[in-house]
Structure 1
Amino acid sequence: MRKQYLKLLSTIFTCCLVLCARQGVAADTAAVTDLGKRVAALTREVQLLEDQNAIEILQRTYGFYMDKALWTQAADLFTVDGTLEIGPSGVFTGKARVRDYLLSLGQEGPQEGRLIDQMQLQPVIHIAADGNSAKGRWRSLVMAGQHQGQAWWGSVIYENEYRNEGGVWKIAKLHGYNILYSDYAKGWAESAVASIGPEQPLAPDLPPSTGHHSYPEKFFVPFHYQNPVTGTSVDMDTATPELSPVEPDELGQTLSDLDTRLERLNDVQSIERLQHAYGYYLDKQQWDTLANLVAEDGTIEIAQRGVYAGKKRVRDNLDLYGEQGVHNGVLHNHIQLQPVIHIGTDGKTAHARARALSMLGTYGGAGVWGASVYENEYVKESGIWKFKHDHLYTTMFTTYNEGWAAAPRAAPGVNKDNPPDLPPSVVYEAFPKTHIPPFHYPHPVTGVEVRAP
């Protein structure tokens, strides 16, 4: 996407040169009309980039709502006539029936002892030329289970459709193909089922739209798009709309607006890169380098360890996670996933909700799984984005051998030898207890603040 930004910005610059060259002289009608067409085409390209960002936010938010069994909020992401089809369960038609299906999965809202993390990953999105519909392929990695019961790995491929209604993107069709569900203790080499869910599933409105097989049986999930190198067509029934040139007296303002919109899109990418870099530095315990990602007055709050305020104190906090540098026999992977980023109206502040999947351990010792959610703040200083508040909420922390259903561990607390400057800003308990890290943004369709039921 960065190359697209540079290409578009170059076009804006060229257009501006043409405008400047024509100031104070008689307008060449053909040239001005051509410029208006180029700006109109540029506007459409920028809109498509914004639409892709909105669809990614929509689907990733669906995952965050599903994690906490926010069934009503998840159903409200659908169009009124939207459909849902998961595995062999059949098709549920209409927003109300989507909610009925979700409610059949269990009590609404987070429940003690229940884990249903559903990571939304690997998007391939194509937006129709008219900007009114889109299709997306996604992967979901599922960590599910019941405390002191059974734990599951799950793998799902989505082939979804989306609709733009009045400038708001919604899910028109959610179709999840269950690739694998496997008992955690046995692993996928010894255990596989078609799906997990209630013993008496809700009857669908329609039978499954396709034959469905899960591992170990072979099954190919059809792609909505062709090979991006050998073929260019995408399965969409829309023609490219005819664009009207931007009027000459609107060119200046339109170019200015496009410049701002592109800057905001670039800001989103910059923050995503910043968060990814944070994860890579964390992997290899590069504490000095990681601390330099933080503003001078920035803070860090990991799990229930409390708040460390200021860059120097952020660096002190990092010593809690081991000695700086790369060490033999130490695994410290922190995979950064599923970012939902919003830029402030001033263009200098931002918030992001994201997910971390942690793989920790020492060779010959204990291995650990961790699942967490970030609600972070960022600040732009001299054109560079930095962390303002790095706040990680622990969902689950458990040993590799026993898994999340059998042997959960409490979130780390305050360290007396390296105490924080402030106590934890939010007090909670990790799995098997439950909590909802507060959302920095309202529901992307209804605009309503999201709270626990």
Structure 2
Amino acid sequence: MNIDQLASTVQALQDEVATLRAEADIRRIQARYMFLCDTPCPEFGVADDAERIERILDLYTEDAIWEGVGSYYDNQFGRSVGKAAIRKHFQGFWGQKRDPELILNVHYLTSEQIHVRGDEADGQWVHCQPWIFSDGSSLLRSSRLNNLFRKEGGVWKVARTRTENMFVAPLKSGWAESVPATSVLMKP
């Protein structure tokens, strides 16, 4: 192997490692977003929903977009552009007392695809999430995600969250036998 071939091989390996690291970072960002959206919030030390929202916003670029698309989510979620608008979107969800109260919501991600192009990437997932309310009612939601990511200052951030409803299905009351009031998973 001559020096040019060696240099080419080393560059190819560096490019591959950069892509694998980007995919891993993006995977962690998406999972962290879902983790922070779970109820009860499993993040240790989160004092309230305002702090939860700020931790979610830390994952986003300043000019990020959060949108629900399709016939069902257009009307339910709409489109929020920029961190201030995304904050307001989440405050509308967590900042209000609801009756019945949401007592459990867990996000399960599957069918992952991540495509890295330098300092930009897109990722697609399918997710399901059971919802349980204080009145005993429950439902199962499933959505497709088509998100964009951008590397800023050496750190990957979410540039767009786009979610499209696949279905919402009621679940029979009592299908879950035990539901924690708080999460102690991350407690030291």
- Equivalent of residue 114 in structure 2, options 118, 125, 143: 125
| TM-score for the superposition, normalised by structure 1 | 0.35
Relative to structure 1, the CA distance from residue 149 to residue 172 in structure 2 (aligned partners, 3 Å threshold; closer, same or farther) is: same
Q: Would you say the 8 A contact 1:184–1:403 is kept in 2?
A: yes
Structure 1 distance, partners of 2:185, 2:63, is 31
2-structure distance, mates of 1:439, 1:135: 33
SS in 2 for 1:135: strand
| Distance of 1:61 and 1:435 partners within structure 2 | 15
Q: Residue in 1 aligned with 2:64?
A: 82
State the alpha-carbon separation in 1 of the partners of residues 108 and 155 from structure 2: 23
* Residue of structure 2 equivalent to 1:36: 7
Q: Is it true that 1:65 corresponds to 2:47 in the alignment?
A: no
The CA distance in 2 between the partners of 1:116 and 1:41, in whole Å, is 43
Structure 1 counterpart of 2:123, which letter?
G
**Is 1:438 the equivalent of 2:186?**
yes
Judged with a 3 Å threshold, the aligned counterparts in structure 2 of structure 1 residues 55 and 439 are, in CA distance, closer, same or farther, namely farther
Q: State how far apart, in whole Å, the 2-side matches of 1:148 and 1:91 are.
A: 30
> How far is 1:78 from its partner?
0.7
2:133 to 140, 146, 164: 146
Q: Which residue of 1 aligns with 2:82?
A: 94
Cα deviation digits, residues 155-212 of structure 1 (max 9, x gap): 0100111001122111100000011112112xxxxxxxxxxxxxxxxxxxxxxxxxxx
- 3-state SS in 1 of match to 2:106: strand
CA distance in 2, matches of 1:176, 1:157: 6
Q: Which amino acid aligns with 1:49?
A: L
The 3 A distance-change label for structure 1 pair 439 and 39 is farther
Q: Which is bigger in relative contact order (C-alpha 8 A, separation at least 6)?
A: 2
Contact (CA 8 Å) 1:59, 1:120: kept in 2 or not? no
4+ residue stretches of structure 1 with deviation over 3 A?
Answer: none
Whole-angstrom distance in 2 between the partners of 1:439 and 1:64: 15
Q: How many residues align?
A: 167
Counterpart selection for 1:105 from 93, 117, 134: 93
Instruction: Note closer, same or farther for the CA distance 1:81–1:436 as it changes in structure 2 (3 Å cut).
Output: farther
Q: Report the counterpart of residue 213 of structure 1 in structure 2.
A: none
CA distance in 2, matches of 1:436, 1:96: 30
- Which digits, 9 at most, give the CA deviation of each residue in 1:305-337, with x for residues without a partner? xxxxxxxxxxxxxxxxxxxxxxxxxxxxxxxxx
Identity of aligned residues (%): 26
Alpha carbons 2:136, 2:174 under 8 Å: kept: no
Higher-strand-fraction structure: 2
SS in 2 for 1:148: coil
- Report the TM-score, using the length of structure 2 for normalisation: 0.80
- Change in CA separation of 1:167 and 1:120 when aligned onto 2, cut-off 3 Å: same
Measure how far apart 1:113 and its partner are.
Answer: 5.7
Residue identity opposite 1:125 in structure 2: I
Q: Secondary structure at the match of 1:72?
A: helix
CA displacement, residues 218-240 of structure 1 (integer Å, 9 cap, x when unaligned): xxxxxxxxxxxxxxxxxxxxxxx
Contact kept in structure 2, 1:78 and 1:170, CA below 8 Å: yes
CA contact (8 A) 1:155 1:178 kept: yes
Structure 2 counterpart of 1:45: 16
Deviation string, structure 1 residues 285-324 (Cα, Å, up to 9, x no partner): xxxxxxxxxxxxxxxxxxxxxxxxxxxxxxxxxxxxxxxx
In structure 2, the residue matched to 1:180 is: 167
5+ long unaligned stretches in structure 2: 42-48
Cα distance change, pair 113–436 in 1 and its aligned pair in 2 (3 A): farther
How far did residue 402 of structure 1 move?
2.1
**Contact 1:75–1:96 (CA<8 Å) still a contact in 2?**
no
Gaps of 5+ in 1: 1-17, 19-30, 186-400, 410-429, 441-453
Measure how far apart 1:121 and its partner are. Answer: 2.0
Change (3 A) 1:144 1:59: same
Amino acid at match of 1:156: S
Q: 1:115 to 1:83 in 2, by over 3 A?
A: same
